[in-house]
Amino acid sequence: MTIKVALAGAGAFGTKHLDAIKLIDGVEVVSLISRELEKTREVAGKYGIGHVTTSLDDSLALKEVDAVILCTPTQMHASQAIACMKAGKHVQVEIPLADSLADAQAVVALQKSTGLVAMCGHTRRFNPSHQWVHKKIQAREFNIQQMDVQTYFFRRSNMNALGQPRSWTDHLLWHHAAHTVDLFAYQCGSPIVKANAIQGPIHPTLGIAMDMSIQLKAASGALCTLSLSFNNDGPLGTFFRYIGDTGTYLARYDDLFDGKEQKIDVSRVDVSMNGIELQDREFFAAIQGGREPNASVAKVLPCYEVLHRLEQQLT
């Protein structure tokens, strides 16, 4: 049976999901939702999507829609995920699940009461580079002593990954730190027991801190130091250094190197080298199998509990 999907948010990240879904058998995007109708029609035409709208409710009213992928602004994630489940649709919401702990808890509570598949796009769990390290940890061949992570962008104006003006403001803590906070606990297999944060000045027009530093400690004793900046003028992205008891590994998106900068082949870790595709495959497999997915909203909730604790320190 084909899983029929509605996708909300036809911007930079939405198109990554559309490209990924084209590679997955038994899945069809039947509805596309985005803010500007003409631009949405243009994207829908490129991907052969028949139904186009600017209203999520229009798509939720379609009986044939089984599941929804939300690639919308952060501030809409929780309310839209709740709307999807109330309409009886499975939902995958892009990271972050919410920008407050209360909203994240509300999504998890509704998922538990409905039994629907609800997943959050914590892509680092699926990137082959991080999967390779995870498998080594599971095989008891590597234990994390420390993770050193840099998340650097150049965002002194409110533009998206395509260089287009954003309709919303991104956030270092509730979006970008969420990737590493979740990954650290997931890779260690151990809850975060200590968390500290400091931030730089608030930007006069964007209203957010442009620089932040976070320290984490897992119950296992492992440490994580995370540096985040919207002021960094290249190279851009997130770079992970895993320091362990049997080696050092550097993960740069889907590429992995050892501590001597020798490249590690991660091409056989999974069926694809595309983290978004692997994330989407997990979502659809969980729907088909009637099971809880990796990165379910319940499994990632501890990340948002930590972000909440960090936010208390910053206010």
A 10 A CB-CB count for 200 gives 15
The domains located in the chain, with CATH, are 3-121+275-293 (3.40.50.720), 127-269 (3.30.360.10)
Coil, helix or strand at residue 27: strand
Give residues with Cβ within 8 angstroms of 267, minimum separation 6.
Answer: 128, 273
Structure tokens belonging to residue 315: 């206010």
How far is CA 290 from its chain centroid?
Answer: 22
| Alpha-carbon span 187 to 133, nearest angstrom | 8
pLDDT digit string (tens) for the chain, length 315 residues = 899 999 999 998 999 999 999 999 999 999 999 999 999 999 999 999 999 999 999 999 999 999 999 999 999 999 999 999 999 999 999 999 999 999 999 999 999 999 999 999 999 999 999 999 999 999 999 999 999 999 999 877 666 556 666 555 678 999 999 999 999 999 999 999 999 999 999 988 888 899 999 999 999 999 999 999 999 998 899 999 999 999 999 998 789 999 999 999 999 999 999 999 999 999 999 999 999 999 999 999 999 999 999 999 997
| Alpha-carbon span 309 to 306, nearest angstrom | 5
Sheet arrangement for strand 90-94: 51-53, 27-33, 3-8, 67-70, 90-94, 118-121
Interstrand relation of 90-94 and 118-121 (parallel, antiparallel or unpaired): parallel
CB distance 77 to 161 below 8 Å: no
- Model pTM? 0.94
| Alpha-carbon span 235 to 153, nearest angstrom | 8
What pLDDT shows up at residue 127?
96
Helix H or strand E segment including 45: helix 37-47
- The string of DSSP letters for 183-206 reads HHHHHHTS-EEEEEEEE-PBPTTT
| Alpha-carbon span 59 to 51, nearest angstrom | 8
